[in-house]
Structure 1
Amino acid sequence: MDNKSKIKLFIENFVVYGMGGAISSAIPVIMIPVITRLMPNSSYIGISDMATAIISIGNAFALMGMYDSMYRLFFENDSKEYKREICSTSLAFTFLTSIIVAVIMIIFKKPITALMLEGKNGFLVYICALTVFVGATNSIVSAPIRMQNRRKIYLVLNTLCPLISYSISIPLILNGHYVIALPLATLISNVIIESSFLLINREWFQTKKVNIKHLPLLLKLSIPQIPNLLVYWVFNSCDRIMILNLLGMNEAGIYGISAKLGHVSQLIYTAFIGGWQYFSFSVMKDKNQVETNSKIFEYLGVISYVATGMLCVFVKFFFRVLFPSEYMNGAVAAPYLFLSPLLLMMFQVNAYQFLIKLKSWPNMLILGTGALVNIILNKLLIPILGIEGAAISTVIGYLFSVVLCSTALYKIKLFNIHGKFVFVSAAFILFFVIWRLFGFNSVLVSFIELVVFGIVVLLCYYREIKKIMKMVLRE
């Protein structure tokens, strides 16, 4: 496949599959200001955030990395019979693990409530357990649509899910059901969407097609990913739990809103990873695959830096306009939390190099080390800097993982890096430090910084930008 075809394939998958996922993520972002004004105070946002954290850890155990394993092996053989067996076996296994995890969550309701809900509202654990059962299997039954390039269906269903959720949650909030509104709406919308996916993809999931002989290879790829999923949970939820226990539910709620605004970048991440997964496996056997992967990593890094710089300029304005004054203290943490998913995106670009080689344990080790750094820094910085300390810890943990993964791949010749990217990265770090010291309270200083940094990027990547624009415009 030539470079032009690769770019076309990547853009198509980015726009269709990626943006389909991004739309479903964009709707909650748009609804954040509405929800914060409907809720009596930030503690209810904190409760909802903790419920999400409970669900995400349950999903990690229930799914056990089976989604990525199924996706990887689906492209290993062109036989439709083989593909059906892989899909059916993956769903059967995930169905069983989901039941087990949901039951365990209910059994341990009291300690979960004590750790993550301040010992209150234990009934939320039941809702979370059911959501885990539905959510884990939902990931599996939705996959064939993407793997078959059924674009319109994917876009429609991913848009409907959050729309259904908020059409349920807002009436509940208006009627005073603040605690259960968002978790219950998530459960109901997941049930509706999973039923739709299962109906559409029913030919790929048949009991008679379950073939245990595929399970050892599926598990060989998936089991080493379980720690990865747990590490992702640590990055996303450990800071919230520590804030809850050190600063209280109100601060956890403010941090949650800061994370949600910061996670506007999650739209970029979701859009990218939705297209990247198909693209990376489609071109994995190309001779110049390493160079292609390295360039994508580099370009995404530059885009991430520029996007974060733009948020730094306007973050206080956004908070002032969108949220009640109670949440204003979260503005300082938002740029860190905006950058974090983008660093995760960069990590995953390189991490797929190991998965393509049918090795997932290096990713576990590298990301686990970053998570450990995150936890240590959380313990040190949250008591001193509050929610900003948690945000700093998260971004440093991800950055550590990116550097470690890139270094490991470079040494085994699965990654290349150019000096100008290192220079731009250093320039961005300098930009961020100056912004925090002098630009946070001055839009003018932040804007001047951004212009200077933008000039540096243009000077370093003028040829690449010009070349890519020409190729895209010709299409």
Structure 2
Amino acid sequence: MSSSPYRSLGKNTAIFAIGTFGSKAISFFMLPVFTRVLTQADYGKIDIITTSISLLLPLLTLNIVEAVFRFTLDKGSLEEKQAIFTSALTVGTAGFLCLLCFIPVFIHFGVSGQLLVAFLALFLIDIIHGITKVLIRAEQRLRLFAVSDIIHTAVFASTGIVLVAVLKMGVIGYLSSQIIAVTISTAVLFLFGSVGKYIAPSAFKVAQIKVMIKYSLPLVPNALAWWIMSASDRYMLAFFLGFSSTGIYAVAHKFPMLLSVLNGVFYQAWQISSIDQFNSPDRKQFYSNVFRALSTLMFLGTIAFSLALRPFVILMTGEGFQEAWRFVPFLILGTVFHSFSQFFGVGYLAAKKTGGAFRTSGIGAAANIGTNLLLIPLIGIQAASISTAMAFFIMWIARLIETRKYFSVSIDWVRLTVEISLVLASLMMVYFGLVGALIQIVCLIVFIILEGKSIGAVLKKVWIAFCERGKNKKD
């Protein structure tokens, strides 16, 4: 079998990694600043606002960004891409106009004045940024994509320090920093990506919009289900326990981000490679090998991070947020199963059978809501983290079963079960002090013994991908 699919996946992953690791690192290390300036309630309000935007974007824009990515990959001519991009902007604009109709509702619930203006501005620029960014990714202009991520985060960090830490503007300062950062990142994509050439009113076609919406519409309930599993916990916590609990939980969510960055980098490259190889006769072997590599790296990262989890969280947070470490283990477990769900979910996109994505996401969302309603009144914030892990595990299993009609993946279930047990044991030992740390070390050693060859092979391929990129850059 040719190694070209692996080389392509490795190269794309390397490029995404350069942008993503840099930007996420800056964002993460802003946490000590914000948690020492903002109150728990302020952080909770910010989290509710940004979470609400993440819900409304796919609903009001019919998740059109997914159609932009998939259809741009298939199209070659400028006229076809103009039709796709112009149609997406039209749908996005219509979504924003729909949002304006709900202004009286926002005002009724206390979102008014500067807060309302910031909310609307961030929503609008997020629409334009999302469509533009996914076009650049589909065009495989990955270096520009990575650079825009770094610029976005660097601008957010610098303006955040000034507006939140220095000028003490609180929630408005945080949201203003986001607006400035997204606007500048979008401007960079437009300028250096020559995005303006894709905007052509004459290319507007109702038929194109219908085709794109037919593809993206089934992904709207899927996006809603993902939102329920990832973010609805905040609303339930705010309802049962208040904004302070939401703030602590939001901070706890920042730490699994260190692991989700690995998955996020891989997933962006995997979307491209999985679609490219979907009709290949070697698809099963390729998909199986990639899943083995993904699970190995996610498990290794989880066990290694669990060793330093508690002191690291305490070090990185302000005094009012230090108890967040208690809720991180289950959230990290959820991140692992989240990555597995995304891996198999790409099959729906590659096969253009997006209806199945909703069915499996709906199962996970139902499990999340049920667990939250049952346990939050009983055990508080920890219920939200448990429900997240449970929901993503259930959804992964559902997708693994259903996507067999599109592709199959060979899995050594005995080995995988042992490794999941090691991961779970290592995470639970966070609560048991020194004895727990010793057990965690044993778990890490056993895992390395089991997967030593796989770890070496993955690291070798990653190194080759970086070296090839460096060589091509010199040439």
TM norm structure 2: 0.90
- Cα RMSD after superposing both structures: 2.4
Q: For residues 423 and 157 of structure 2, what CA distance do their matches in structure 1 show?
A: 38
1:182: which partner in 2?
Answer: 174
Moved more, 319-328 or 134-143: 319-328
The correspondence of residues 20-419 of structure 1 with structure 2, limited to 5 A, is: 20-39=19-38, 41-101=39-99, 103-110=100-107, 113=109, 119=110, 123-173=114-164, 174-199=166-191, 200-410=194-404, 412=405, 414-419=407-412
Moved more, 368-377 or 89-98: 89-98
Q: Is the 8 A contact 1:46 1:249 kept in 2?
A: yes
1:116: which partner in 2?
Answer: none
Q: Percent identity?
A: 21
Q: Partner amino acid for 2:61?
A: L
Q: Partner amino acid for 1:246?
A: F
Q: For residues 105 and 422 of structure 1, what CA distance do their matches in structure 2 show?
A: 52
Q: For residues 51 and 157 of structure 1, what CA distance do their matches in structure 2 show?
A: 24
Offset of 1:449 from its aligned partner? 3.0
Gap runs ≥5 in structure 1: 114-118
Q: For residues 461 and 418 of structure 2, what CA distance do their matches in structure 1 show?
A: 29
Q: Describe the shift of the 1:176–1:21 C-alpha distance in structure 2 as closer, same or farther (beyond 3 A).
A: same
Q: For residues 19 and 339 of structure 1, what CA distance do their matches in structure 2 show?
A: 25
Is the aligned partner of 1:448 residue 2:439? Answer: yes
Q: Describe the shift of the 1:362–1:19 C-alpha distance in structure 2 as closer, same or farther (beyond 3 A).
A: farther
Q: For residues 468 and 163 of structure 1, what CA distance do their matches in structure 2 show?
A: 30
Q: For residues 406 and 201 of structure 2, what CA distance do their matches in structure 1 show?
A: 43
Q: Is the 8 A contact 1:51 1:183 kept in 2?
A: no
Q: Partner amino acid for 1:423?
A: R
Offset of 1:426 from its aligned partner? 4.2
2:421: which partner in 1?
Answer: 429
Offset of 1:104 from its aligned partner? 3.4
Q: Partner amino acid for 1:310?
A: A
Q: For residues 435 and 446 of structure 1, what CA distance do their matches in structure 2 show?
A: 10
Q: How far does the alpha carbon of each residue in 1:335-374 deviate from its partner, in whole angstroms, 9 at most, with x for none? A: 2223333322221211111221111111101011101100
TM norm structure 1: 0.90
Q: Is the 8 A contact 1:354 1:360 kept in 2?
A: yes
Q: For residues 427 and 264 of structure 2, what CA distance do their matches in structure 1 show?
A: 27
Moved more, 12-21 or 384-393: 12-21
Q: How far does the alpha carbon of each residue in 1:247-290 deviate from its partner, in whole angstroms, 9 at most, with x for none? A: 12111111111111222223123212222222222222211223
Q: For residues 112 and 92 of structure 2, what CA distance do their matches in structure 1 show?
A: 28
Q: Is the 8 A contact 2:67 2:216 kept in 1?
A: yes
Q: Partner amino acid for 2:8?
A: L
Q: Describe the shift of the 1:169–1:462 C-alpha distance in structure 2 as closer, same or farther (beyond 3 A).
A: closer
Offset of 1:466 from its aligned partner? 4.6
Q: For residues 453 and 160 of structure 2, what CA distance do their matches in structure 1 show?
A: 49
Q: Is the 8 A contact 1:235 1:374 kept in 2?
A: yes
Q: For residues 17 and 469 of structure 1, what CA distance do their matches in structure 2 show?
A: 16
Q: How far does the alpha carbon of each residue in 1:173-209 deviate from its partner, in whole angstroms, 9 at most, with x for none? A: 2222112111121122222322332343111222222
Q: Number of aligned pairs?
A: 462
1:11: which partner in 2?
Answer: 10
Q: Is the 8 A contact 1:18 1:273 kept in 2?
A: no
Q: Partner amino acid for 1:109?
A: F
Q: For residues 334 and 415 of structure 1, what CA distance do their matches in structure 2 show?
A: 33
Q: Is the 8 A contact 2:152 2:181 kept in 1?
A: yes
Offset of 1:85 from its aligned partner? 2.1
Offset of 1:18 from its aligned partner? 4.7
Q: Partner amino acid for 1:147?
A: A
Q: Describe the shift of the 1:62–1:82 C-alpha distance in structure 2 as closer, same or farther (beyond 3 A).
A: same
Q: Partner amino acid for 1:57?
A: L
SS in 1 for 2:74: coil
Q: How far does the alpha carbon of each residue in 1:148-195 deviate from its partner, in whole angstroms, 9 at most, with x for none? A: 333442232211112222322222222221121111211222223223
2:472: which partner in 1?
Answer: none
Q: Is the 8 A contact 2:303 2:443 kept in 1?
A: no
Moved more, 298-307 or 181-190: 298-307
SS in 1 for 2:76: coil
Q: For residues 173 and 293 of structure 2, what CA distance do their matches in structure 1 show?
A: 40
Q: Is the 8 A contact 2:68 2:135 kept in 1?
A: no
Q: Is the 8 A contact 1:64 1:223 kept in 2?
A: yes
Q: Is the 8 A contact 2:426 2:439 kept in 1?
A: no
Q: For residues 435 and 232 of structure 1, what CA distance do their matches in structure 2 show?
A: 24
